[in-house]
Amino acid sequence: MKTKHLVIILIWLGLLLPFKATKAQSSPNLIAPAFQVGEELKYKFKYGIFNCAEGVMKVEESQKEFNHVKPFRLVAKGETVSAVAMIMKVRNRYDSYVNPATLKPFLFTESVREGDYKRDSYASFDHKNKVVNSKKASFPIGDNTLDVLS
């Protein structure tokens, strides 16, 4: 069971590495993202000749607004395929709504479906008051706290 979770974490880390941000020259507080709306990354995970899983990350225009800011919507989806899906069906989705100027998150949601295990959760970020709110509790955060996608 632990090996399965480790594999899933490693897969998602592989998905997340391409999202880097560089500092803009004009202001030390602004970030020029290395991506734009419409970009999409697709991954196929293989074990030898067998296709095991597929993943996609994309940047979308958000329909939501936070504090009068129209954020980027970062979407990551992953699922097992072929015979692997018959053994262990995984259907995970992660959404992050981030400020396009700072890349700090406003809201993070996840829908995890791994076999019989299911979890839906969220984290709402209040950077002004340095707190993140979730289903379970509120937690203090630092100035540059991010979620798994941002």
Please tell me the least confidently modeled range out of 6-20, 35-49, 114-128: 6-20
Torsion of CA 80, 86, 92, 93, to 10 degrees: 80
How sure is the predictor about 33, in pLDDT bands with cuts at 50, 70 and 90?
Answer: confident
Q: In Å, how far are 92, 94, 110, 111, 127 from 77, measured between CA atoms?
A: 6, 6, 10, 9, 26
Q: What is the mean pLDDT of the chain?
A: 84
Residue with tokens 């899933």: 8
Residue type, 72: F
**8 A C-beta contact, residue 79 and residue 93:** no
